[in-house]
């Protein structure tokens, strides 16, 4: 069953406009979330703590292949979105095809763009976009645990 948290961009844009009028602080986090691990949970929980509403922009299968290569994702976008929708701290999920979330940031203008601890404020790919509309960047989730890519390599090495 597909969750009501997983919505299309036009609906999300309307919701965000309404929430902003009510004074709600909007946080946007993004990623592939191919194999969910504790680092993802820490990142998203921390991101949610920075505001009132957490939107997760999820890379589509197409954009994961561009970023990670053939053979990825392991779990398709519908499955990854459904898993993320089960987290109580995630309010909305949007699936996107681009390599980064600059377009989404430009249109939604969230108060905070949350990134994981594998970035610094200076290395966030969308840094200039966030600065251009007056948003803030938050590095979330604490020390990097390990990536889905590392987990996949480990699984392959145990065969």
How are beta strands 26-31 and 92-96 bridged, if at all? unpaired
Eight-state DSSP code of residue 54:
E
Q: Distance of CA 4 to CAs 1, 13, 18, 73, Å?
A: 9, 15, 17, 23
| pTM (two decimals) | 0.91
Asked if 43 and 139 touch (Cβ cutoff 8 Å), the reply is no
Domain 9-157 adopts which CATH fold?
Answer: Rossmann fold (3.40.50)
pLDDT number for residue 8: 95
| Domain residue limits, the chain | 9-157
Q: What is the pLDDT of residues 15-44, one digit of tens each?
A: 999 999 999 999 999 999 998 999 999 999
* pLDDT higher than threshold 90 for residue 69: no
**Mean residue pLDDT across the chain:** 92
Q: Which helix (H) or strand (E) holds 64?
A: helix 61-68
Residue 157 has a pLDDT of 77
pLDDT: is 144 or 102 the higher one?
A: 102
Q: With beta carbons less than 8 A apart as the criterion, state whether 127 and 137 touch.
A: yes
Tens digits of residue pLDDT in 43-56:
999 999 999 999 99
- What is the predicted pLDDT for the residue at 103? 96
3-class DSSP assignment, residue 126: coil
What band does 154 get if pLDDT is binned at 50, 70 and 90?
Answer: confident
* 32 vs 144 pLDDT, higher one: 32
Report d(CA 79, CA 84) in Å as an integer. 9
């Amino acid at each position: 069953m597909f969750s009501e948290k997983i919505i299309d961009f036009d609906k999300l844009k309307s919701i965000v406009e309404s929430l902003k009028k009510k004074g709600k602080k909007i946080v946007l986090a993004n990623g592939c979330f191919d194999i969910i691990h504790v680092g993802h949970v820490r990142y998203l929980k921390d991101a949610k703590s920075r505001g009132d509403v957490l939107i997760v922009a999820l890379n589509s299968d197409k954009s994961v292949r561009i970023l990670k290569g053939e053979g990825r994702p392991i779990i398709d976008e519908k499955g990854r979105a459904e898993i993320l929708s089960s987290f109580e701290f995630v309010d909305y999920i949007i699936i996107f095809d681009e390599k980064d979330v600059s377009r989404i940031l430009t249109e939604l203008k969230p108060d905070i763009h949350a990134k994981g601890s594998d970035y610094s404020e200076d290395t966030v790919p969308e840094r200039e976009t966030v600065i251009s509309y007056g948003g803030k960047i938050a590095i979330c989730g604490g020390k990097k645990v390990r990536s889905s890519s590392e987990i996949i390599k480990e699984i392959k090495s145990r065969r």
